[in-house]
Structure 1
């Protein structure tokens, strides 16, 4: 990916600026690819993230606070994300028997089945995005990104 040609400039871009632009362009490419992969399911990347978090709970209920803490993209609209998943019957929301102020969210059978389909497509998209990297290069890239 040649940053200068993408942003159509002949100027020499300072290395720190070029690096940030490069990261932004990569982020956009990843976002577009994942959105395209999830489009047939009419689910956003954030909704997909919520479903994966709930699957990771292994049947244990989660609450909005836990979901928000574990989200890849921290958002204040977790309630809205859950509402959209409720409308699709992918999650279930119940009031805790012991504490009526606590709302518990779990993955439904339908949600689990659809998540399995989505996960395969997302996994394929991830592999396609990273096909030009060896395992060693990906490990090195992750090590460098850990510095952030």
Structure 2
């Protein structure tokens, strides 16, 4: 009854609906906390995520498609994100020598400096979920992996059914 009271629903169809709603509700809290944390550093969560990926690849340049593939939010507009980071001087963007339609993206010295400063405070984000034990965190990660696998399987079957109908 706790979730029902928190979000104002009298009852759920079943425990799967309740689990889905609980994940979405919790995501809102977690997402808002992350955005607030990164805003203090002049970034969005997506911008930090992109810089983290670029730092891990440094000094190797990456494409916008590589960046999009590795982003936590698959719906983010990688081109616009890179443009904003470039405007802040946090990345360097050059045209790909082999394919003029592509760009090469590398984190700048300023971008590395900001992300290294942020790293010193990441423990604040860890604290967001320290209401559960480390063992429970491991279990949660495993359960969420199963949820993602279920989502992939359902989405694949929907896609294949749609292509058959077309």
TM superposition score normalised by structure 1? 0.89
- Residues 28-68 of structure 1: per-residue CA shift (max 9 Å, x gap): 01100100101122211111111011011031001111001
Quick one: higher RCO (CA 8 Å, sep 6+), 1 or 2? Answer: 1
Secondary structure (helix, strand or coil) at the match of 1:146 reads helix
Question: In structure 2, how many angstroms separate the alpha carbons of the residues matched to 1:16 and 1:100?
Answer: 48
Q: Is 1:124 paired with 2:123?
A: yes
Q: CA RMSD in A?
A: 1.8
| Alignment check: 8 A CA contact 1:33 1:125 kept | no
1:138 CA drift (Å)? 1.0
Unaligned regions of 5+ residues in structure 1, if any? Answer: none
Partner of 1:100: 100
1:104 CA drift (Å)? 0.3
Partner of 2:16: 16
| Alignment check: 8 A CA contact 2:89 2:111 kept | yes
Q: Is 1:45 paired with 2:45?
A: yes
More moved, 15-24 vs 29-38: 15-24
Question: In structure 2, how many angstroms separate the alpha carbons of the residues matched to 1:101 and 1:22?
Answer: 43
| Alignment check: 8 A CA contact 1:34 1:125 kept | no
TM superposition score normalised by structure 2? 0.80
More helix, by proportion? 2
Figure out how many residues of one structure are paired with residues of the other and give that number: 146
Partner of 2:140: 141
Secondary structure (helix, strand or coil) at the match of 1:89 reads coil
Question: In structure 1, how many angstroms separate the alpha carbons of the residues matched to 2:135 and 2:105?
Answer: 39
Question: In structure 2, how many angstroms separate the alpha carbons of the residues matched to 1:146 and 1:120?
Answer: 28
Secondary structure (helix, strand or coil) at the match of 1:147 reads helix
Question: In structure 1, how many angstroms separate the alpha carbons of the residues matched to 2:76 and 2:35?
Answer: 20
